[in-house]
Amino acid sequence: MPSGVILKALKMKSLFFLFCLTLLFSKSNGQANLKTTCTDSTKSDIMESLSFYKGRLSIDSTDQISYYKIGMCYYKLQNFNVAIGYFNKLIILNPDYSNAYLNRGMCNLLLNNKKEACADFLKSVKRGQDPEIIENQKVSDWLKKECN
């Protein structure tokens, strides 16, 4: 058997082993402990989520959900510039991911980048995000005032 084929088989076996380990260590009470959109309440939980999703990205660098959830974790940590970086990467992978624009817009709004925030909110709506879903009344009022 050629050495290239053996090397490829070993690489695939290693990836499968890592995947199985991830599943094994993410089990809790018999169910997979899949993280949500980083809604964790403590900093240590958020850091655990970051580690989890960065691990997923190390296996699959095109994992859109991981980019989104890492962005949300950094948003939750109020590290808005880093969050924007992850939302940017997600938008490159999927330009129609409306929540990426919405959350990048929230980061821009909190960084006082009004022009960028409005552009992101409008792109989000254009790509299917329902403007009525925005539950924060102050944000909703700001959008009506600043982005129209």
| CATH number of the domain where residue 47 is located | 1.25.40.10
Residue 117 lies in a domain: yes
The length of the chain, given as a count of residues: 148
Does residue 44 sit within a domain?
Answer: yes
Q: Tell me how far apart the alpha carbons of residues 104 and 82 are, in angstroms, rounded to a whole number.
A: 10
Amino acid letter, residue 143: L
- Kindly give, in sequence order, each residue whose CB lies less than 8 Å from that of residue 63, ignoring residues fewer than 6 positions away: 56, 57
In whole angstroms, what is the distance from residue 107 CA to residue 90 CA? Answer: 15
- Strand 27-28 with 31-32, pairing: antiparallel
The winner for highest mean pLDDT among 14-18, 68-72, 121-125 is: 68-72
Is residue 77 in some structural domain? yes
Residue 130 lies in a domain: yes
In a domain, 9, yes or no: no
Q: What is the 3-state secondary structure (H, E, C) of 26-84?
A: CEECCEECCCCCCCCCCHHHHHHHHHHHHHHHHHCCCCHHHHHHHHHHHHHCCCHHHHH
Domain coverage including residue 99: 37-146
For 84-140, the pLDDT digits (tens) are 999 999 999 999 998 899 899 999 989 999 999 989 988 887 887 666 555 567 667
Task: Tell me whether residue 31 is in a domain.
Answer: no
What is the model's pTM? 0.70
Question: Is residue 3, in this structure, part of any structural domain at all?
Answer: no
Q: Check residue 136 and give its pLDDT.
A: 62
In a domain, 16, yes or no: no
The pair of three-digit structure tokens given for residue 52, joined into one six-digit string: 């989890």
Total number of domains in the chain:
1
Q: Considering only 8-12, 62-66, 119-123, 137-141, which range has the smallest mean pLDDT?
A: 8-12
How far apart are alpha carbons 125 and 11 in whole angstroms? 42
Q: What CA–CA distance (Å, rounded) separates 42 from 28?
A: 19
